[in-house]
A = this chain, B = another copy of it.
Amino acid sequence: MKPMKISEAVVRRLPVYLQVLNDLNMRDVQTVSSQDLGNKLDLNPAQIRKDLAYFGDFGRKGIGYDVTYLIEKIRQILKLDQPLNVGLVGAGNLGRALCNYNTYLKDNMKITAVFDVHPSMVGASINGLTVLPMDKLKETVAACNIRIGIITVPAIEAQNVADKFVEAGVDGILNFAPTILRVQEHVRIHYANFTTELLSLAYYLDEEGVDENETVVD
């Protein structure tokens, strides 16, 4: 391992590698080359080798990477080899979807508490969890050792919820609300903003919608 600073682009690719490796593992594939991975992910094999080499020598020259071993290593790098508790605020449709995905976020990440700002939601049961009121957030985050907060409330309430999470002591926030959050520097925020993806998708549509052949006169 080197004490080098790893760029965000590299870190963001690790979960993608993990996803493909888990796939291969389920299909009992023992070994994979950077070439194979590159084909599956439309990435340059050199980039994959370089990404992995930041963290150690995981491959074998002439052979490739052992799938199980590489999964284990990437899990370690992402700190998914230890349990990580997550709290969620916003028991609406999206929040409930994420709670039910819990099996999905299996990799030692678990939503262990759900909160809502609306008293009418409090007490409801979601996938075995009882929705708690916001004034229980601080003590629950401490008691359950919650490190990450997920925000699935409307944009207008998001900053307020983020402040509560930070005050309660979480180190990271995943924000689904379409708004930029301001927090103390040491708290890391990731955005899961699908509207961005959807709206930017629209940009690329008419390149095909306008049939360029129609304008060709022979």
Contact = CB atoms under 8 A, between A and B. Distances in A.
Interface string A177-211: 01110000010101110111111111111101100
Chain A at the B interface: SS class: helix
Interface stretch (A7-15, A60-68, A117-125, A130-138): A7-15
Number of copies: 2
Contacts of A42: 180
Interface string A1-45: 000000010011011101110010000000000000000111000
B97 A148 contact: no
A49 to B, nearest CB: 19
A180 B19 CA distance: 9
Interface string A61-80: 00000000000000001111
B200 A11 contact: yes
Most buried by B among A19, A79, A201: A201
Most buried by B among A16, A192, A194, A205: A194
Contact of A180 (B14, B40, B196): B40
B79 A180 contact: no
A51 interface: no
Given A84-B202, A172-B204, A180 B96 contact: no
Given A23-B179, A93-B100, 17 more contacts: A8-B200, A12-B200, A14-B199, A19-B179, A40-B180, A78-B199, A79-B203, A96-B97, A104-B195, A147-B209, A148-B198, A172-B204, A186-B208, A188-B204, A190-B197, A190-B201, A192-B197
